[in-house]
């Protein structure tokens, strides 16, 4: 009888240990099979879409380097909330020509901004022409290129070349002075 109770107690204890190990998060990156998120980044690399079409024109594109990610900022002369960003081929607006042959990087982010790059008189509000490189990303850890894909029927397109298919996030910021910005951050790596 005591042997059966001891065996049963051991089986219950072993089952509890297995269940605790399976559900408990690892305490260090070395304990995890896939590693800890890089800089705590949990963005993922799936498609990101939000917002509606706006008539506020694009007025500036700039880039920046940060400790954990590289950034592309699209600034508009008014409120803008609409975008669709995903990995994949990017085509010029209106013509449908692939931009990958003209964009540096091993992976390509297709950025569709739901706002024009022209004013009410259809005059360009940015100095870029379709197919032009719009930012100097020399020595950036992740960004390799930003190419203007054009603006057609209220949408503006960019191909953002990156080092590899990496996690990214997109969000909208208000300001300054009645302007708004759509911000694209691309992580330097997946995990530590």
Quick one: pLDDT band at residue 89, thresholds 50, 70, 90?
Answer: very high
Is residue 8 predicted with pLDDT exceeding 70?
no
Determine contact, residues 130/148, Cβ cutoff 8 Å: yes
Specify which residues 93 forms β-bridges with: none
Most confident option among 17-26, 70-79, 94-103: 70-79
Q: What is the mean pLDDT of the chain?
A: 86
Q: Which residue has the higher pLDDT, 6 or 187?
A: 187
Query: Is residue 166's pLDDT more than 90?
Result: yes
Q: Report CA-CA distances (Å) from 49 to 82, 110, 154.
A: 8, 12, 16
Give the predicted TM-score (pTM) of the model: 0.81
Do the Cβ atoms of 25 and 42 come closer than 8 Å?
A: no
Instruction: Identify each DSSP E strand in the chain by its residue range.
Output: 48-50, 58-65, 69-76, 83-87, 107-113, 143-152, 155-162, 168-174, 180-187
- The residues, any chain, with a CB within 8 Å of residue 192's CB and separated by 6 or more, are 29, 35, 36, 37, 38
> For 94-123, how does the pLDDT look when each residue is reduced to its tens digit (9 = 90+)?
889 999 999 999 999 999 999 999 999 999
Confidence of residue 28 (pLDDT cuts 50, 70, 90): very low
């Amino acid at each position: 009888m005591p042997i059966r109770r001891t065996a049963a107690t051991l089986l219950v204890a072993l089952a509890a240990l297995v269940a605790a190990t399976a559900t408990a998060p690892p305490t260090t990156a070395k304990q995890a099979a896939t590693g800890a998120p890089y800089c705590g980044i949990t963005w993922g690399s799936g498609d990101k879409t939000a917002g509606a079409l706006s008539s506020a024109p694009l007025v500036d594109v700039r880039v920046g380097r940060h400790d954990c990610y590289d950034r592309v900022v699209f600034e508009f002369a008014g409120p803008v909330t609409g975008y669709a960003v995903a990995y994949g081929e990017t085509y010029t607006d209106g013509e449908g020509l692939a931009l990958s042959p003209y964009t540096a990087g091993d992976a390509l982010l297709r950025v569709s901004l739901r706002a024009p790059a022209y004013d009410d008189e259809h005059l360009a509000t940015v100095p870029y022409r379709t197919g032009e490189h719009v930012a100097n990303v020399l020595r950036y850890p992740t960004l390799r290129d930003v190419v203007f894909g054009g603006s057609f029927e209220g949408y503006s397109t960019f191909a953002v070349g990156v080092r590899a298919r990496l996690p990214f996030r997109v969000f909208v910021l208000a300001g300054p002075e009645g302007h708004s910005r759509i911000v694209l951050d691309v992580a330097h790596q997946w995990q530590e």
